């Protein structure tokens, strides 16, 4: 595999099926949130999948590493030109051009770009904070990734609902304190929450990550999955997290 590295970039090991990824300290790098969502989302054989706000393409890459997932068609949509370019080079470097397509574009215009109800599964790791809330990074790439500057939560869920076919699935990763907003907005856009998992950094700590999956046009019935613990008390990763990183088997239950 050959990767095109630009100034200030490095090549990291994704620790999954030999995949590598181009990253840079100058832009927002992927985090555990993306790894978890790429494993949590329900993706079935021959599904057409889109990742809204794909960043450097980490979630499409990780979807191809899932042992339970045959390769289907995966699209990554990214508004930031620099990140979209990194994502394209990550796809080429990992020789996944036949599986993953990166598109430089705006989530708010996604339905116009791809067509209504044109995907079976939609995944999204959106900005978590409303614009103007919390620390405002001087780095534009980080600010856009963390704050609802180019896309609000409502706009992201609306786009996901528009792209998802009837009986298709939409999966988001977010923060637990936005759960009420997420459920209200999903139902407003005809997405019925069906699965929910809270992720805790350590035993006995409050959850800091929320994973939620909805069915378009589904009936009300929400299943709460067992909580996922990231670290043991000694700081090491739990077996569940190690299995998730490796893409082994089903979601831990």
* Number of other CB atoms surrounding residue 190 within 10 Å: 14
pLDDT of 149 reads: 63
- Least confident range from 12-21, 94-103, 165-174: namely 12-21
Which pLDDT belongs to residue 143? 52
- 114-126 pLDDT per residue, tens: 999 999 999 999 9
% the chain with pLDDT above 90: 75
The stretch 140-158 carries a mean pLDDT of 73
Please give the structure tokens belonging to residue 152. 């609000």
Residue range 131-158: average pLDDT? 68
Q: Which region among 41-50, 137-146, 216-225 has the lowest average model confidence (pLDDT)?
A: 137-146
State the chain's maximal CA–CA distance in angstroms. 51
Least confident of 36-45, 108-117, 160-169: 36-45
**Stretch 176-202: mean pLDDT:** 97
Alpha carbons 222 and 230: distance in angstroms, whole number: 23
Q: Is a pLDDT exceeding 80 seen at residue 134?
A: no
Percentage of the residues of the chain whose pLDDT score is greater than 70:
87
Instruction: Check residue 251 and give its pLDDT.
Output: 75
Q: What is the Cα–Cα distance from 34 to 57, expressed in whole angstroms?
A: 10
Question: Taking 90 as the threshold, does the pLDDT of residue 28 lie above it?
Answer: no
pLDDT of residue 17: 85
Return the pLDDT at 148: 56
Q: What angle do CA 23, 24, 25 make, to 5 degrees?
A: 135
Q: Is the pLDDT of residue 23 over 70?
A: yes
Quick one: pLDDT at residue 46?
A: 86
Residues contacting residue 129 through CB under 8 Å, at least 6 positions apart: 146, 147, 148
pLDDT at residue number 136: 54
- Does residue 105 surpass a pLDDT of 90? yes
What's the CATH fold of domain 9-246?
Rossmann fold (3.40.50)
- The pLDDT of residue 202 is 96
* String of DSSP letters for 10-25: EEEE-SSTT-EEEEET
User: What is the spatial distance between Cα 156 and Cα 163, in angstroms, rounded to a whole number?
Assistant: 11
- Provide the pLDDT for residue 135: 59
**Under 8 Å between Cβ of 62 and 38:** yes
Q: What's residue 66's pLDDT?
A: 82
């Amino acid at each position: 595999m050959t990767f095109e590295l630009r100034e200030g970039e490095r090549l990291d090991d994704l620790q999954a099926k030999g995949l590598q990824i181009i990253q840079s300290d100058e832009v927002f790098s992927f985090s555990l949130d993306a790894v978890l969502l790429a494993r949590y989302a329900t993706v079935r054989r021959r599904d057409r999948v889109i990742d809204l706000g794909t960043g450097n393409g980490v979630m499409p890459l990780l979807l191809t590493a899932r042992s339970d997932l045959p390769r289907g068609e995966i699209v990554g949509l990214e508004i930031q030109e620099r990140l979209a370019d990194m994502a394209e080079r990550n796809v080429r470097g990992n020789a996944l051009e036949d599986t993953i397509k990166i598109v430089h574009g705006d989530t708010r215009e996604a339905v116009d770009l791809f067509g209504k109800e044109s995907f079976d599964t939609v995944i999204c790791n959106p900005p978590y904070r409303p614009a103007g809330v919390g620390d405002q990074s001087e780095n534009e790439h980080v600010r856009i990734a963390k704050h609802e500057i180019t896309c609000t939560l409502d706009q992201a869920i609306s786009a996901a609902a528009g792209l998802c076919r009837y009986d298709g699935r939409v999966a988001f990763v977010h923060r637990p304190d936005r759960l009420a907003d997420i459920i209200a907005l999903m139902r407003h856009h005809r997405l019925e929450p069906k699965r929910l998992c809270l992720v805790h950094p350590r035993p006995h700590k409050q959850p800091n990550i929320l994973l939620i999956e909805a069915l378009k046009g589904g009936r009300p019935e929400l299943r709460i999955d067992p909580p996922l613990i990231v670290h043991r008390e000694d700081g090491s990763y739990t077996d569940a997290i190690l299995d998730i990183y490796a893409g082994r088997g089903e979601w831990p239950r």
